[in-house]
């Protein structure tokens, strides 16, 4: 672990396993509440100095991190593939996106502006400044183990906060590789700290209950997010929560069904469906259902499943056996309630695939609201298709969920596009676009998909407090 500028050992370790074949990728230190408190202490002691540094100093260090990440893009991507499973091409893309987030925050650090407000009194002035919140704790998930780290740490550091990170227990090596870069970039001791742990509970409890931690950022399941919010409530601790999603993907009758199927295929099976913005409910107008299904089925038939380090593989493993069992249970429930299996629908365990956690890319038709897959996030390579007849009907069905992270719509009608953008109750909406995200754009959801935003100007504001000064000048 990395605490107060030093690599430390605890005497206990745990292994990180490759989900493609079960091999040991590496070993990391197994920490707990004691190490979490040590890291918080280091961050608290470093806060005054870091907050007092200039935006240009913070920006220069983040720019150095960006450069080092680009220099190490290939080894970082290979480690990501071994530890998390996604194909190497996708891993390289994640490293690039993670570096972009760092660079954006390096630039945005110099744009944390204040303002003056006119006063009703001639001898009075109002000045508003933005100040760093304090020590920020972050808990990151396994599905994007490099980009999620930079999306939390980069804005915190740019704002002048010090930070403590607890990465997902399934992918700690990716976080450790990034902290080697932070160390080499020259961050002062205590500004960034890493606590790895097999059991996240004790570390999370420290983050929630230690009053020196002024901000907690978490990406993960809605259930865990609610638990953390409850634990932080007694202190009214600042929270950013990026939680579950249940994205609708809507294809209207005026859309090009082949183009829509191409977009759906790229998005649905990215990271083997283990993406919070992955389409979970695919609504297709009856008039274009047949060509859409044919085009999607043809694309799915070309997907190659296997170890992400092998050439030509575009669908890697699920993260563990429990993930496979969850996907299989949803598929079996749908089939038992009348869904039609068009493709896939099985665990892949023959030959070398039997050493990992693989599930066939699956296409289901005839989905209805009584099925679990209509209500629950899948986090797997399953495309459930529902037919619809009119705009009002599909908008109501799309919004019929407790989640509100991302939504997608394919249409050539400008008026309809605007109506859907304004009517869909989701934090991010892609209109003929499967990637409405970027370092410069706010990322986050509404309803039970979370609180706050990452990325863009809003991402740094999450780590800043507003302070107003009233000055009587005579």
List the catalytic residues. 242, 276
For the chain, give percent helix, strand, coil, nearest 5: 45, 25, 35
Question: Residue 97 is inside which H or E element, if any?
Answer: helix 88-108
Whether the CB-CB separation of 377 and 361 falls below 8 Å is answered with: no
Report the helix count and the strand count for the chain, using DSSP H and E: 15, 22
Tokens for 20, please give them: 């493609």
Residue identified by tokens 């150095």 is 64
Cβ atoms 49, 188 nearer than 8 A: yes
CA distance 429 to 407: 5
User: Which H or E element spans position 80?
Assistant: helix 73-84
Cβ pair 115, 456 in contact under 8 A: no
Looking only at the bridges linking them, the beta strands covering 406-410 and 428-431 are: parallel
Strand order in the sheet with 6-7: 6-7, 2-3, 192-194, 162-166, 135-139, 213-219, 238-242, 450-451
Joined together, the tokens standing for residue 340 give 């039609």
Nearest CA among 463, 473, 425 for reference residue 159: 463
116: phi > 0 → left, psi -120 to 50 → alpha, else beta; which? beta
Contact (CB, 8 A) for 234 and 203? no
Sign of CA dihedral 21, 25, 27, 32: negative
The C-alpha atoms of residue 394 and residue 103 are separated, in whole angstroms, by 39
Query: Which residues partner with 362 through β-bridges?
Result: 382
Nearest to 430 by CA among 251, 253, 257, 288: 251
Give the separation between CA 193 and CA 42, rounded to whole angstroms: 8
Sheet strands (E) in 114-265: 115-117, 124-132, 135-139, 162-166, 192-194, 213-219, 238-242, 247-251
Tallying the residues shown for the chain, one arrives at: 474
CB-based contact 357:324 (threshold 8 Å): yes
What is the spatial distance between Cα 282 and Cα 386, in angstroms, rounded to a whole number?
6
Q: Are 144 and 94 in contact (CB under 8 A)?
A: yes
**Residue written as tokens 């808990």?**
139
């Amino acid at each position: 672990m990395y605490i107060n500028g030093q690599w430390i050992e605890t005497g206990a370790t745990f292994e990180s396993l490759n989900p493609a074949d079960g091999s040991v990728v590496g070993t990391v230190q197994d920490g707990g509440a004691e190490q979490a408190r040590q890291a918080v202490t280091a961050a608290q002691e470093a806060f005054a100095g870091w907050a007092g540094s200039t935006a240009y100093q913070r920006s220069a260090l983040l720019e150095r991190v960006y450069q080092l990440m680009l220099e190490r893009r290939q080894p970082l991507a290979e480690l990501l593939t071994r530890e998390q499973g996604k194909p190497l091409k996708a891993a390289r893309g994640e490293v690039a996106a993670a570096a972009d987030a760092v660079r954006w925050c390096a630039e945005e650090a110099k744009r944390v502006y204040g303002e003056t407000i006119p006063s009703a009194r001639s001898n009075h002035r109002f000045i508003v400044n933005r100040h760093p919140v304090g020590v920020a704790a972050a808990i990151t998930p396994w599905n994007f183990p490099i980009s999620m780290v930079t999306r939390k740490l980069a804005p915190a550091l740019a704002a002048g906060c010090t930070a403590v990170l607890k990465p997902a227990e399934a992918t700690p090596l990716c976080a450790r590789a990034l902290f080697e870069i932070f160390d080499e970039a020259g961050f002062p001791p205590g500004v960034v700290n890493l606590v790895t742990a097999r059991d996240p509970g004790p570390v999370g409890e420290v983050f929630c209950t230690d009053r020196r931690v002024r901000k907690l950022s978490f990406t993960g399941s809605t259930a865990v997010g609610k638990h953390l919010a409850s634990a932080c409530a007694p202190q009214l601790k600042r929270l950013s929560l990026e939680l579950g999603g249940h994205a609708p993907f809507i294809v209207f009758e005026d859309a090009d069904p082949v183009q829509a199927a191409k977009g759906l295929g790229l998005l649905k099976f990215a990271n083997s469906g283990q993406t919070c913005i992955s389409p979970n409910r695919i609504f297709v107008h009856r008039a274009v259902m047949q060509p859409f299904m044919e085009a999607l089925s043809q694309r799915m038939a070309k997907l190659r499943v296997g170890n992400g380090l092998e050439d030509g593989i575009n669908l890697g493993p699920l993260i563990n056996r429990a993930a496979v069992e969850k996907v299989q249970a949803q598929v079996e429930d749908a089939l038992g309630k009348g869904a039609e299996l068009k493709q896939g629908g099985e665990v892949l365990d023959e030959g070398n695939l039997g050493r990992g956690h693989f599930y066939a890319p699956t296409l289901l038709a005839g989905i209805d609201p009584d099925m679990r897959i209509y209500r629950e996030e899948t986090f797997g390579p399953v495309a459930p298709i529902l037919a619809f007849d009119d705009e009002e009907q599909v908008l109501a069905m799309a919004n019929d969920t407790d989640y509100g992270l991302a939504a997608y719509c394919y249409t050539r009608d400008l008026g309809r596009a605007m109506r859907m953008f304004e009517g869909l109750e989701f934090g991010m909406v892609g209109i003929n676009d499967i990637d409405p995200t970027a370092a410069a754009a706010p990322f986050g959801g509404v309803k039970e998909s979370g609180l706050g935003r990452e990325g863009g100007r809003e991402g740094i504001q999450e780590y800043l407090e507003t302070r107003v000064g009233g000055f009587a000048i005579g």
